[in-house]
Structure 1
């Protein structure tokens, strides 16, 4: 019986790890919900961020991402911006540079072909 329980627990753990992203964050605005994820944990330096927009009316929009850290005593303002590559079906990919650890502010700009540009704000910690 113990062997069956161990096999069952290992199988559940294995399946859950296959479905998990190393980083995932949900951000909402009044207009839509955006999911940011990465296959690898976020680190200092270059990172690839996958962006999924929940609302289908933004499936073919232009998406830009800006991450920044405000200036603090002894440290200047830091920023990284990128135009996201459209992968289709509301999925986008962008490369950002997080130059140091800490809390970064994230602004995702979604510009549809028709209608108003929206901004989704969130933050991330590395």
Structure 2
């Protein structure tokens, strides 16, 4: 019984560490869904994020703007970046989040054919 308890506890701890190691969030607009993910939890500084966009546009241009509005005693902060096309609707970009807190994230998608779209969400860390 003691061995079973030890194995079960080890499995539970392993799964909790695996889940804590990554970041994932879904965001939608009327016509577009984006799954935002990262191999590591978001931190202060540069963060590489993967954008999985549906519908799967071919040769779309994607850019990201992360910003935190001005607050009393603190100016507004902003990070803009273009995303690199990884194929099959996935894009990779790096955003600089200069401090912890709630950041607004706007994802701009410009397909070669069709309408532009913007997906808005927020990130907390």
TM-score (norm 2): 0.86
8 Å CA contact retained: 1:21, 1:37: no
Deviation by residue 1:81-109 (Cα, 9 ceiling, x = unmatched): 00000001111100110011111000000
Runs of at least 5 residues in structure 2 that lack an aligned partner in the other structure: none
CA distance in structure 2 between the partners assigned to 1:19 and 1:55 by the alignment: 27
Deviating above 2 A after TM superposition, structure 1's stretches of 4 or more consecutive aligned residues are 1-21
Deviation by residue 1:33-83 (Cα, 9 ceiling, x = unmatched): 100111111111111011111212x24311100000111111111100000
CA distance in structure 2 between the partners assigned to 1:50 and 1:12 by the alignment: 27
TM-score (norm 1): 0.86
RMSD: 2.1
Taking a change above 3 Å as real, the CA distance of residues 6 and 54 of structure 1, as seen in their structure-2 partners, is: farther
Q: In structure 1, the residue corresponding to 2:3 is in which secondary structure?
A: helix
CA distance in structure 1 between the partners assigned to 2:11 and 2:67 by the alignment: 41
Runs of at least 5 residues in structure 1 that lack an aligned partner in the other structure: none
Q: Does 1:49 align with 2:49?
A: yes
